[in-house]
Amino acid sequence: MRIIPAIDIINGKCVRLSKGDYSTQKIYNENPLEVAKMFEAHGVNFLHLVDLDGAKASHIVNHKVLESIASNTNLSIDFGGGLKSDDDLRIAFESGANQITGGSIAVKNPSTFKSWLKNYGADKIILGADANNEKVAVGGWLEESDEDLIPFIKNYVKEGISYVISTDISKDGMLQGPSFDLYKKILNEAPKIKLIASGGISCFEELPKLAAMGCEGTIIGKAIYEHKISMKQIENYIL
């Protein structure tokens, strides 16, 4: 299973939120590149980079941070947050993203999202299926849609989606463990997807459990920043 540390960006700084609530932001580092280099130094190959300003503004904002990390590390970066137009997508890829994650757009403008999937391919486009009470959340998690999570994922499987990041928002940033039951349900219903678990990771022991369930990757944020999981543990797991 791939280990994918997360860097969330507000005003160019590395922050974390609790349950996606912008008022809970805590700054962990003023320099995201420094954090990315630290991950790389411990053998990490992947990075989940989220433009929280972009998610709120509905267009890409922190592409310079993406460009800085992409040009100064060898990390394979998936980038999300506010990607709403073909221009946003172009900027993200030109700035060094290896993959992009589309969440709100997949709900609100499916024709554009499907065109991205068709034009760039399933290896480049990740479906962001983030949910509250199994309803898909959009707009930087500030609003809930009427879409039920599992039918939403299955519909995009029919369209050729391969990678899916699913965050249970009630768990995110709470350090109380991930939604094992939700991921089990998703994998039972859509066994062919490459499911990336996200939200709630609280200790190292949860990682082998997610791997055994069939998750292709897991995103870890606050557990690293709050030293619940050490970089040494991650390094040993990767090796």
Span between the terminal Cα atoms of the chain, in Å: 12
8 counts as catalytic: yes
Q: Which residue has the tokens 């390094």?
A: 235
Q: Give dist(CA 104, CA 180) in Å, integer.
A: 24
Measured from the Cβ of residue 125, the count of other Cβ atoms closer than 10 Å reads 25
Q: Which of 78, 130, 168, 172 is catalytic?
A: 130
130 counts as catalytic: yes
Q: Give dist(CA 165, CA 147) in Å, integer.
A: 16
Q: Taking phi first (over 0 means left), then psi (-120 to 50 degrees means alpha), and beta for anything else, what does residue 109 get?
A: beta
Q: Give dist(CA 138, CA 130) in Å, integer.
A: 8
CB 153 within 8 A of CB 129: yes
Take residue 58 and report the two structure tokens written for it: 């509905």
Q: Which of 8, 78, 88, 172 is catalytic?
A: 8
**Phi, psi (deg, nearest 5) at residue 172:** -65, 125
Q: Give dist(CA 88, CA 92) in Å, integer.
A: 6
Residue type at position 47 = L
Q: Residues 6 or more apart from 52 whose CB is under 8 A from it?
A: 8, 9, 10, 15, 17, 22, 81, 140
- The residues that are catalytic are 8, 130
